[in-house]
Amino acid sequence: MSVAYEIPRIHVLNAPPPAVDADVLAVPLAADDTAPAVAAFDAAVGRALSEALARGEFTPKPCETFWAPIVATGWKARRVLFIGLGPRAEMSAERVRRVASTAVTTVRAQRFGRLAWIDADGTGQDDGGRADLLCEGFALANFDGAVHKSRPEPRFFVTDVTLVTAAPVHASAQSGAIIGDAINGARVLVNEPGNHLTPAIFADKAAKFVGVDGISVEVLDVPQIEALNMGMLLGVGRGSAEPPRLIVARYEPADAARDVTLGLVGKGITFDTGGISIKPADGMERMKDDMAGGATVLAALRALAQLRAPIRAIAVVASAENMPGSRALKPGDVLRGASGLTVEVNNTDAEGRLILGDALWHARQLGATHLVDVATLTGACIVALGKITTGLFGSHQPWVDAIRLAAARGGEKVWQMPLFEEYKDALKSDIADMINSPGRAAGAVTAAMFLREFAGSGPWAHMDIAGPAWHEDSKPWLARGATGTMIRTLVELGRAPIPR
C-alpha cells in the first residue's frame, strides 16, 4: 500500500510578487475584480490575462483555471495559474476551500511541487481570515487514493505552499493543515476495502491514527464487550468470522471546562452485506464505507487534540462486520443491549442503529454530557436530502442549533429533520421493547428515534451521513471516494463554547 497523501509545508511570506520563488504563482480572481487589481499580473504575463478575459476564454467561474507563462523580466517564478472565484458576493467557506483544492489538483497534474498563493491585488491583505480554509483545501487535494496498485504510477504531491501576505496568518494556516490532515486520514480509512479493514484492523489503525499527544485509546475485544453486556453490538458481529471491537478514545486536557464532556459516537461497520436480510449485489461494494461515521469522530477528536482545544471529549466507535454467517442474527431474533432495552431484529440490515445503541449508552456511562453520533445510517436519508446534505436530528434544540452553527462556520451542509412523537409508534414490537426496522415511511426519522432511546438524558444529536460520506464523480476539488464529511463541523463544534 502506497501513501495516499502529503500535507504540504506551509510558509508565510510578505514580499512583492516578483520576489516570490515558486514553481507556480496561484492567483485567485473574482468575477468582479477590477482591472487595476490584476494589472501587475496581467503585465507580467504579457496581457494574456486581459486577452483571455476579453475573448471569454477565462470567465472566471468558480474553480475555472487559466495558465499563463510569465514573460516579464525580474520575476523569480515562471508561470501563473489564475483561478476563478466567481462573484465576491457568493464567496463562502466551501468556495474558498474548493478553489484552493482546485489549484493544488491543477498544479500536481503538471507535476509542479512548489506553489505560492497570492491574492489578485498582490497584497494578500484580505487573506487573513481564510488561511485555514485555504490550507485545508490544499491538503485535501494533495491526495491520491490509488494505494493498492501493484505498479503505482509515480505520484506528484505539492510539497510546499507559500502564502504571500502581510497578515499574521501562520496559526490559522496551521489549524487548516491539521484539519486537512485529519480529513485525509479518515478518507484513507473509509476508502479501504472490507478485506483490508476488518473490525480488528480498523481498531488497530484507528488507535494509531487517533493516538496523538493528549489522547488515550483503548480497544475492547469480545470478552470485554461481553462484560459490558453489549448484546446488540455482539449480535451484529455474530454473523462474521471477524469479531467486533469497541474503540474508546479520550481527550482530557488540563484546561478543559469542568462540567462538559463532548461524546462523539461513530458507526464502524467495516462492511455491510445486510446480513441475512441481504442487500442486492448491485452497488454493494460501496458498503465498505459503512464505518465512515467512526472514522469521522476519530478524525475530529484527533484534530481537537492537535489544536489543543480546551474541551474534554471522548470518542466511542462500535465496529463490526455485518455478514450472513451460520451464527448470524436471524430476522425475528431478540437482543438485549447494554442499556437493558430489548430489540426484536425484524431486519438484520438495520444493523447500524443496533451497534450505535450500545455505543451511545456506553458514551453516556463514561460521562459524556453532550452526545453526537455520526453514521451512514439510512438509504432513506439519501431519498429525503440527496447526496450532499447531512440529516441532523435531536430533541435538545440548543444543542442542535450549536451543531447547525458549527456546520455553517465549517461550510458543510446539514438540515434538521423532525422527531415528532407520532413517528415512534412505528417502533412498537409485540414481544420486545422495540423493533429495529419500522419500514419505509420516514425511515431516517424512525432510525433516529430508535437511537434516541439509548442516548439517556441530556443533549444528544444524530447525523445521518449516508449521502455525503461518499462522492461518486471525481471533481477538481475532491477525488472520487470518501469525503470526510462532518469532520470540520465536529471540530468547529468542539472549538466553540458548548451551550447548556
* Pairing of β 460-464 and β 390-394: antiparallel
Residue 144 makes CB contacts below 8 A (sequence gap 6+) with 4, 5, 155, 157, 479
How far, in Å, CA of 500 to CA of 498, rounded? 7
| Residues 442-461 close enough to bind ligand BES by CB under 6 A | 443
Asked if 349 touches Mn ion (CB under 5 A), the answer is yes
Q: Which of 376, 390, 483, 485 binds ligand BES (CB under 6 A)?
A: 376
Among 75, 342, 89, 109, smallest CA distance to 232 is for: 342
Cβ-proximal residue to ligand BES, closest one:
379
| Span of 80-88, 215-223, 376-384, 387-395 interacting with ligand BES by CB under 6 A | 376-384
| Residues paired with 464 in a beta bridge | 375, 391
Asked if 60 touches Zn ion (CB under 5 A), the answer is no
Instruction: Please indicate whether residue 327 is annotated as part of the active site.
Output: no
Count CB neighbours of 74 within 10 A. 8
| Span of 81-89, 116-124, 224-232, 343-351 interacting with ligand BES by CB under 6 A | 343-351
Asked if 276 touches ligand BES (CB under 6 A), the answer is no
Do 152 and 1 touch, CB atoms closer than 8 A? no
Residue whose grid cell is 485555514: 132
How far, in Å, CA of 290 to CA of 377, rounded? 8
Cβ-proximal residue to Zn ion, closest one:
272
Minimum Å gap between C-beta 358 and ligand BES is 15
Q: Please, which residue, 274 or 459, has the CB nearer to Mn ion?
A: 274
Q: Please, which residue, 349 or 492, has the CB nearer to Mn ion?
A: 349
Among 164, 199, 165, 202, smallest CA distance to 185 is for: 202
Minimum Å gap between C-beta 353 and ligand BES is 8
Minimum Å gap between C-beta 365 and ligand BES is 25
Do 42 and 61 touch, CB atoms closer than 8 A? no
Q: Please, which residue, 192 or 272, has the CB nearer to Mn ion?
A: 272
| Span of 37-45, 145-153, 370-378, 385-393 interacting with ligand BES by CB under 6 A | 370-378
Q: Please, which residue, 144 or 349, has the CB nearer to Mn ion?
A: 349
Given the residues 97, 245, 312, 353, select the one marked as catalytic: 353
How far, in Å, CA of 29 to CA of 82, rounded? 7
CA atoms within 13 A on the CB side of 243: 10
Q: How many residues does the chain have?
A: 500
Query: Could you tell me what percentage of the chain is helix, strand and coil, using 3-state DSSP and rounding each to the nearest 5?
Result: 40, 20, 40
| Span of 19-27, 119-127, 351-359, 448-456 interacting with Mn ion by CB under 5 A | 351-359
Asked if 351 touches ligand BES (CB under 6 A), the answer is yes
Q: Which of 104, 350, 426, 486 binds ligand BES (CB under 6 A)?
A: 350
Minimum Å gap between C-beta 345 and ligand BES is 10
Cell numbers given for 223: 470478552
CA atoms within 13 A on the CB side of 225: 28
438: helix, coil or strand?
Answer: coil
Q: Which of 122, 176, 194, 352 binds ligand BES (CB under 6 A)?
A: 352
Among 283, 363, 351, smallest CA distance to 319 is for: 351
Give the E-state strand segments of 323-465 in sequence order: 333-336, 342-345, 370-375, 390-394, 414-416, 434-435, 460-464
Count residues contacting ligand BES (CB under 6 A)? 15
Given the residues 279, 336, 409, 495, select the one marked as catalytic: 279
Minimum Å gap between C-beta 445 and ligand BES is 11
How far, in Å, CA of 459 to CA of 370, rounded? 5
Give helix 487-495 / helix 397-410 axis angle, nearest 10°.
120
Which of the listed partners (ligand BES, Zn ion, Mn ion, none) does 489 bind, with a CB threshold of 5 to 8 Å by partner kind? none
Count CB neighbours of 399 within 10 A. 21
| Residues 277-316 close enough to bind ligand BES by CB under 6 A | 290
Asked if 233 touches ligand BES (CB under 6 A), the answer is no
Q: Which of 142, 172, 198, 347 binds ligand BES (CB under 6 A)?
A: 347
Q: Please, which residue, 144 or 290, has the CB nearer to Zn ion?
A: 290
Residue 157's Cβ-count burial label (10 Å; 0-12, 13-18, 19+) is middle
How far, in Å, CA of 82 to CA of 38, rounded? 10
Q: Which of 270, 306, 437, 483 binds ligand BES (CB under 6 A)?
A: 437
Asked if omega into 60 is within 30° of 0 (cis), the reply is yes
Asked if 144 touches Zn ion (CB under 5 A), the answer is no
Asked if 324 touches ligand BES (CB under 6 A), the answer is no
How far, in Å, CA of 427 to CA of 450, rounded? 7
Instruction: Please indicate whether residue 475 is annotated as part of the active site.
Output: no
Which of the listed partners (ligand BES, Mn ion, Zn ion, none) does 379 bind, with a CB threshold of 5 to 8 Å by partner kind? ligand BES
Give φ, ψ of 431 to 5 degrees.
Answer: -120, -10
Q: Which of 272, 373, 412, 464 binds Mn ion (CB under 5 A)?
A: 272
| Residues 243-302 close enough to bind Zn ion by CB under 5 A | 269, 272, 290
Q: Please, which residue, 136 or 272, has the CB nearer to Zn ion?
A: 272
- By annotation, the residues acting in catalysis are 279, 353
Binding residues for Mn ion (CB under 5 A): 272, 349, 351
Residues that bind Zn ion (CB under 5 A): 269, 272, 290, 352
Query: Which residues of this chain interact with ligand BES, rule CB under 6 A?
Result: 272, 290, 347, 349-352, 376-380, 437, 443, 466
